[in-house]
Amino acid sequence: MLSRVRENVRAMAGYTPGEQPRTGDVLKLNTNENPYPPSPTVFEAVRAALTPERLRKYPDPMGQAFRESAGRVLGVDPDGILIGNGSDDILTILTRAFVPEGGLIVSPTPSYTLYRTLADIQGCRFETVPFTEEWGLPDPWPFPDAHLTFVPNPNSPSSTVLPPGDLQRLIDSVNGPVVLDEAYADFASENGLALIKTGKVIVTRTFSKAYSLAGLRFGYGIALPELTSELVKVKDSYNCDVIALTAARAAIEDQAYFAEVRAKILRTRDRLTGELHHLGFEVTPSSANFVWCRHVSGRHRALYESLKERGILVRYMKYPDYGDGLRITVGTETEIDRLLEVLQSLL
Ligand SMILES: *Cc1c(COP(=O)(O)O)cnc(C)c1O
């Protein structure tokens, strides 16, 4: 039956997620998880939801209670919120809804490599547009007729936000929808929520990074309600379980805890940036919970390997059209101390 697998699926490589070691003592600075625990209120809410009645029955397919909480916190219309099994689920839903087989998906590069995988699965063309030297977007934008344009902001691996004006220019120049992947917007000083009203923009968010819930799998999209009503048709009916919905709602309701954790990460990010600089790295100023750095020696792969041998996992990234570097998640102060100590001994 192998020959009956769709040709585009047989031809594709598949997405390679960051390593998830199954044994304990590894310092994980490779997939941008939050080093701090989720809010204590998440545990209370989940414990309260763990009843035979709640588990026996299907969850709310639309996640109405979550939508209302998120709508209030973000100041958006709850009817425009679409719940997802991680924000990757929302990216899949958007691809299914907007892109025909043989269609076109476009994204800047270097960026999140999942977009190409989504295009491969859909059986459509994927084009990339190099960022400018200053991590902005080129003018004119070369693909105004894409069926979907993915723009992560802040971007990974660069950790940068687009210069003001670049995003607006992109939205003005494309005819199709623009997905603003805001997985890291919680760590930046601005976001694109206000652009939703243009009708062209869908914002995606996740609980995996700022809310310390990567193991839970929960994310959401925000668009105009009339657009969200269309997107709902292509999602799995029960794409989010009752535990995820309960935990996500408790997490977004606890904005005081969120702000506290965020502030700690931003402080450590500044220190990490400065110290890496002293060690001979060129560090891109970060608007996310990770830093993108390149060492004067250019020995990125060797550094990655040596760190790994010493129990520290960072992400080695290599792009055919850009080059390589290290993406390092901002851990706790103690974790970053350990990283810096080992790096110093290696350099
Ligand atoms: C982490 C990440 C996501 C996915 O988050 P999940 O909610 O865990 O699926 C999406 N986009 C980018 C750019 C990310 O780094």
Per-run averaged pLDDT (10 residues), the chain, 347 residues: 93 87 88 98 98 97 98 98 98 98 96 95 96 96 98 98 94 97 98 97 98 97 98 97 98 98 98 97 98 96 96 94 94 98 95
pLDDT of residue 234: 96
Rounded-to-integer distance, Cα 189 and Cα 286, Å: 11
Ligand 1 center to 131 CA (angstroms): 20
Nearest to 15 by CA among 104, 81, 86, 84: 86
* 201: β partners: 178
pLDDT of residue 16: 85
Top mutation candidate among 118, 181, 220 for ligand 1, by most atoms within 8 Å of CB:
181
Ligand 1 center to 252 CA (angstroms): 17
The DSSP code sequence of 200-244 is SEEEEEESSSTTS-TTT--EEEE--HHHHHHHHTTS-TT-S-HHH
Nearest to 196 by CA among 171, 219, 170, 173: 171
CB-CB neighbours of 127 under 10 Å:
15
**How many CA atoms does the CB half-sphere of 311 hold within 13 Å?**
8
Query: Which atom of ligand 1 has the smallest separation from the CA of 219?
Result: 7
pLDDT of residue 180: 98
> pTM for the whole thing?
0.96
Strands 148-152 vs 104-109: parallel, antiparallel or unpaired: parallel
The residue nearest atom 14 of ligand 1, judged by CA position, is 183
Strands 281-283 vs 290-295: parallel, antiparallel or unpaired: antiparallel
Nearest to 16 by CA among 31, 5, 29: 31
CB-CB neighbours of 87 under 10 Å:
23
CB-CB neighbours of 236 under 10 Å:
12
Q: Give the Cα-Cα-Cα angle 292, 296, 297 (nearest 5 degrees).
A: 110
What letter would DSSP give residue 347?
-
> Helical H runs in the chain?
7-11, 40-49, 52-56, 64-74, 87-98, 114-122, 166-173, 225-232, 242-253, 255-278, 300-309, 333-346
Ligand 1 center to 339 CA (angstroms): 24
Query: Which atom of ligand 1 has the smallest separation from the CA of 218?
Result: 7
Rounded-to-integer distance, Cα 267 and Cα 277, Å: 16
Q: Which residues contact 196 (CB under 8 A, 6 or more apart)?
A: 76, 80, 202, 203, 222, 223, 224
In the structure, which protein residues have their CB atom closer than 6 angstroms to any atom of ligand 1? 86-88, 112, 152, 156, 181, 183, 206, 208, 214, 219
Ligand 1 center to 116 CA (angstroms): 14
The DSSP code sequence of 253-304 is H-HHHHHHHHHHHHHHHHHHHHHHHHTTEEEPPPSSSEEEEEETT--HHHHH
